[in-house]
Amino acid sequence: MLERIRVLRDRIAQACGRCGRDPADIELLPVSKRQSLDAVREAVAHGFHSFGENYVQEGVAKHLEMPELKFNLIGPLQRNKAKVALMHFAEIQTLDRLDLAARLVRLAEELSAERGVWIQMNLWDEPTKTGGCPESELSALFSELGTSALLKVRGFMAIPPPGQESAFTEMALLRERWQQKTGLPLLLSMGMSGDLEQAIEAGSDQIRVGTALFGERTLQP
C-alpha cells in the first residue's frame, strides 16, 4: 500500500504543479468499499482517518468496529436508510433531492446530529446513471438545508461522464455561481483514480480513490 500511496501523492503533486496549487490543499479520500477491516487499519497506519463508503450497511458495520474513524457516505441514500446513515456517517456526499433533504433536516434535529452534507450534481442528463441533482433544483435544496443549524453544506460532489474532461470545468463554474448566490464557501469533490489530474487542475478539493490506493477489493458483494 505504501508504494501505491506514494504514486498517488506524486500524481497529485504533479497536477498541482501544472496549475499552481498546493498539494496540501487536496484531500485524498480513500474509498474503502469492499475492503477488509485489516486494509482500513493499514491505511490508518499510513495516516488516513477518513474513508468513503458506497453502501450504508457496509459503512455502518465498519463504523461500529472502528468508531474512532470518520466514514463518509459516497453512494446512493434511500430515505428509509437516512436515520441510520446520520447515526454512523460523519458526512453524506450524495444528497440529491428535496425530499431527502427534508428528511435529513428533520432527523438531524431529532438526533441532535451535526453532519456535513454535499450536494451530488448531475449536469449531464446521463440515462444510465441514477442520482444527482440538476442545477434547476438547487435553490430549493439550499433553502431547505438553510433551515437547519445542524447540517452544514460543504460543497458539491460529482461523478462526471468518463472521458468528458469539460465536465470538471462545468462543475468549477457551477461552484463559482453558487458561491456568489449563497455566500457560502463551497468545496468540490470530484475526480477518481483515472481522472484525478484533470479534476485537480479544474479546481477539485477532494479526490476519491479506491483500488489505486487499496489494491483489489477483498470482500464479496
* Predicted confidence band of residue 218 (pLDDT cuts 50, 70, 90): confident
Whole-number Å distance between alpha carbons of 113 and 86: 7
Interval 161-209: pLDDT, tens? 887 878 999 999 999 999 999 999 999 999 999 899 999 999 999 999 9
> In 3D, which of 62, 74, 130, 51 has the Cα closest to residue 97?
130
Domain ranges within the chain, ordered by starting residue: 2-214
Q: What pLDDT, on a 0 to 100 scale, did the predictor assign at position 81?
A: 97
Report the pLDDT value the prediction gives residue 221, as an integer from 0 to 100: 59
Contact yes or no for 82/107 (Cβ under 8 A)? yes
- Beta-carbon-side half-sphere exposure of residue 60 (alpha carbons within 13 Å): 11
pTM as predicted: 0.93
| 26 pLDDT higher than 60 | yes
CA distance 35 to 38: 8
Homologous superfamily assigned to 2-214: Alanine racemase (3.20.20.10)
How far is 34 from 218, CA to CA, in rounded Å? 6
Q: Is 165 exposed, middle or buried (0-12, 13-18, 19+ CB in 10 A)?
A: middle
